[in-house]
Amino acid sequence: MTDEFFSAALDDLREKGLLREPRVFTACDGRTITLSGKKYLLFCSNDYLGLSQDARIVRAVEEGLAKYGFGSGGSRLISGTRTAHEKLERAIAQYLRAESSVLFGTGYGANSGAIPALAGKGDVIFADKLNHASIIDGCLLSKAEFVRYPHADMGALERLLSKTRCTGRRWIVTDGLFSMDGDLAPLDVVCGLAKKYDAGVYLDDAHAFGVLGEGGRGTASVFGVEGKIDVTVGTLGKAAGGAGAFATGSKKMTDYLVNKARTYIFSTAIPPAVAEGDLKAVEILAESGDRRKSLLSATSDVNAEMRKRGLARVGESYIIPLVVGSADKAVQFAGAFLEAGIFIQAVRPPAVAEGSARLRLTLSSAQLPDDRTALLSAVDKLFDGRSA
Ligand SMILES: Cc1ncc(COP(=O)(O)O)c(C=O)c1O
């Protein structure tokens, strides 16, 4: 194949305003980034509690490197498992009050491996339309029938559950806190429907893990349905500030994933030093009430300010989408924010639906009150009376 194909495809993306390139930060301290020698306030990170820069975690990783060296040298079932992985799995299960947990390399790998392991031919997966790409890919990789319901529409979910014939098992699969819209799945209703229609519940709590609910235990805790979720997936790459991911549930379920999830079986285990860092992060999450409080208080302040400006959406969380419409417009807004000293990425299709490109603004406990004042004054200047 020649480069002509790639050139044409890239030109096409450029014309549609959809060409992407990673921005390279020469420095990042969780609150600010440096880009081409200039410092900007960071308002689009998933490091919601600022733990990516926590000195206790950095030290744990350094000690892990000294103890284990760098790589794990193999997949978990061949030669990649160290005590660090096992300790981390126990700590996650304990933190989430689950019987057991199993690690994956990434949240993407957890969803794309666990879902096809859990659902197969004859089964039906009922999935929220706005679920994360890794869930969608997991559903597509499974041999199950894949039925999508309109976002958070529990009436539609019930209609689909009642009318879709299923000879095997039913699964309801949903994000907890939706990554691009910042609203919550109504998990109490989801669990009620799951009971009524004898379905399993698979929750991806990537964005709520460590932050929402009692002790940061996530969306199930917010809705009082801990114990009613069959599988909870989370990533250690967001509020935990590290890397890696997990699925929790019963011991039988995690043993099953160890034997059936291809992204667990056929992929190199995360470096043990990273597992040590993640372990420290989970310990810190368990006692991070103050950080959570400060983030949630900033969340309610900023959302109130957005509401005053007619910019708030239905949900209210530390993920605040400013929907502007076309991809080009979102890129222009991101450029204007940058000129105002604020780094927010434009989120464009296919990450969000056509016509709903947005600035995905996120808050972190690492930000200072002055940072949020600077953000709001930039919003005033850029949106100038226009609703998003
Ligand atoms: C809901 C959701 N699930 C899974 C993932 C993937 O997690 P990871 O970044 O660990 O691959 C993300 C990441 O953006 C996400 O938003």
Residue 360 bridge partners (DSSP): 321
What is the CATH architecture assignment of 55-286? 3-Layer(aba) Sandwich (3.40)
Residue 50: the pLDDT is 97
Check whether 378 has a pLDDT greater than 80.
yes
Q: Give pLDDT tens digits for 173-201.
A: 999 999 999 999 999 999 999 999 999 99
Yes or no: say if 231 and 203 are a contact pair by the CB < 8 Å rule. yes
Average pLDDT over residues 51-62: 98
Residue by residue, DSSP assigns 41-100 as EE-S-S-TTSGGG-HHHHHHHHHHHHHH-S---SBIIIII--HHHHHHHHHHHHHTT-SE
Residue pair 255/117 in contact by the 8 Å Cβ criterion? no
pTM: 0.96
Domain boundaries, the chain: 17-49+289-383, 55-286
More confident residue, 207 or 310: 207
The owner of tokens 């990537």 is 206
Mutate to test the pocket of ligand 1, among 132, 264, 318, 347 (most ligand atoms within 8 A of CB): 132
Active site residue ranges:
179, 207, 238
pLDDT of residue 315: 65
CA distance 287 to 50: 14
For ligand 1, the distance from its centroid to the CA atom of residue 236, given in whole angstroms, is: 9
- Average per-residue pLDDT for the chain: 96
Does residue 311 surpass a pLDDT of 90? no
User: Residues of the chain with pLDDT > 90: what percent?
Assistant: 94
Alpha carbon of 212 to ligand 1 centroid (Å): 16
pLDDT at 385: 53
- Residue 289's contacts (CB-CB under 8 Å, 6 or more residues apart) are 215
Tokens of 91: 């700590």
- Of ligand 1's listed atoms, the one at least distance from the Cα of 244 is 10
- pLDDT for the residue numbered 24: 94
pLDDT in tens, 235-269: 999 999 999 999 999 999 999 999 999 999 999 99
Per cent of the chain over pLDDT 70 is 98
> Which H/E stretch holds residue 341?
none
Residue 159's φ and ψ, nearest 5 degrees, are -60, -45
Distance 233 CA to ligand 1 centre (A): 10
**Does the pLDDT of residue 388 top 60, yes or no?**
no
Ligand 1 atom closest to Cα of residue 134: 4
Q: Provide the CATH number for the domain formed by 17-49+289-383 in this structure.
A: 3.90.1150.10
CA distances for 350 relative to 132, 146, 167, 249, angstroms? 11, 19, 33, 31
Ligand 1, residues at Cβ distance < 6 Å = 106-108, 111, 132, 134, 175, 179, 204, 206-207, 235, 237, 245
On the question of a common fold for 17-49+289-383 and 55-286, the answer reads no
If you average pLDDT over residues 23-35, what whole number do you get? Answer: 96
Per residue in 264-292, pLDDT (tens digit) is: 999 999 999 999 999 999 999 999 999 99
pLDDT at res. 386:
56
The answer, yes or no, to whether residue 332 has pLDDT greater than 70, is yes
- Interacting residues of 22 by C-beta distance below 8 A, sequence separation 6+: none
**C-alpha to C-alpha distance for 227 and 255, rounded to whole angstroms:** 18
Which residues, in sequence order, are CB contacts of 14 under 8 Å at separation 6+?
none
Nearest to 323 by CA among 385, 370, 257, 388: 388
- Per-residue confidence at 312, pLDDT binned at 50, 70, 90? confident
Q: Which atom of ligand 1 is nearest to the CA of 236?
A: 10
Q: Is the pLDDT of residue 140 over 60?
A: yes
Note the pLDDT tens digit of each residue in 86-138. 999 999 999 999 999 999 999 999 999 999 999 999 999 999 999 999 999 99
What is the arithmetic mean of pLDDT over 52-65?
A: 98
Q: How far is the CA of 110 from the centre of ligand 1 (A)?
A: 9
CA distances from 356 to 348, 350, 353 (A): 8, 10, 6
Question: Residue-wise over 78-106: b if at least 16 C-beta within 10 A, else e?
Answer: eebbbebbebbbebbbebbebebbbbbbb
